[in-house]
Chains A and B, each alone.
Chain A
Amino acid sequence: NAGVMQNPRHLVRRRGQEARLRCSPMKGHSHVYWYRQLPEEGLKFMVYLQKENIIDESGMPKERFSAEFPKEGPSILRIQQVVRGDSAAYFCASSRSGYANIQYFGAGTRLSVL
């Protein structure tokens, strides 16, 4: 997972606050994926973005969650009005191109909602 940078590593929010998770892909990678991992579970796909475009958001909850990957700067996963059930580890992965290209993961952001 060298090269994919996520911050913060740990984030604590109270119910109702907003959480912003950032991901900078590996150098040369223009495809970003976000996953969520609950304790004792595997990672669940949320959204796939290419620069300035959302390609596949089939795993994103319909409300409160949004993602962007602007032309300049990191990809952002935004969770509005957080609830306790949002507590999880959120991982970002990047790949050089899409479909069938190897995804490399960051170290994750652990979100705790009080």
Chain B
Amino acid sequence: GQQLNQSPQSMFIQEGEDVSMNCTSSSIFNTWLWYKQDPGEGPVLLIALYKAGELTSNGRLTAQFGITRKDSFLNISASIPSDVGIYFCAGQGGGADGLTFGKGTHLIIQP
């Protein structure tokens, strides 16, 4: 089946620092999505990307859909305490109806 490699697995940063995480796949996806999950809750959509090369921002978040359609990155600028959580990339397409998720990046912010 399709697999996504998400890195890094965890990040320990200082408040105010910028964050970067990425996902790669051996398969092509038509849509890339980035979700954030807080403990005990479901994933909440942050950014959706529909076209290869697309760069999209949502406040302090910026994400890009790779040209090859096999990768995506998410950047968070000037991190704040409420950014703590698990960030998941997800790909859609390639013949599958469901989303294929990465294993997540745990973001921990040290005051």
Point out residues on A near B: beta carbons under 8 Å.
1, 4, 6, 33, 35, 40-46, 48, 55-56, 58-59, 91, 93, 98-100, 102-108, 110
Known: A42-B102, A45-B99, A59-B98. A105 touches B42 (CB 8 A): yes
Q: Are B42 and A91 in contact (CB under 8 A)?
A: yes
Taking residues whose C-beta sits less than 8 angstroms from the other chain, chain B's interface range is 20 to 34
Point out residues on B near A: beta carbons under 8 Å.
4, 6, 30-31, 33, 35, 40-45, 48, 50, 88, 90, 92-93, 96-104
Q: Are B98 and A91 in contact (CB under 8 A)?
A: no
A59 to B26: give the CA distance in the assembly, Å. 19
Instruction: Enumerate chain B residues within 8 angstroms of A58, measured Cβ to Cβ.
Output: 96, 98
Q: B31 contacts which of A1, A33, A44, A100 (Cβ < 8 Å)? A: A100
A6 to B41: give the CA distance in the assembly, Å. 11
Q: A107 contacts which of B6, B41, B99 (Cβ < 8 Å)? A: B41
Q: Are A56 and B98 in contact (CB under 8 A)?
A: yes
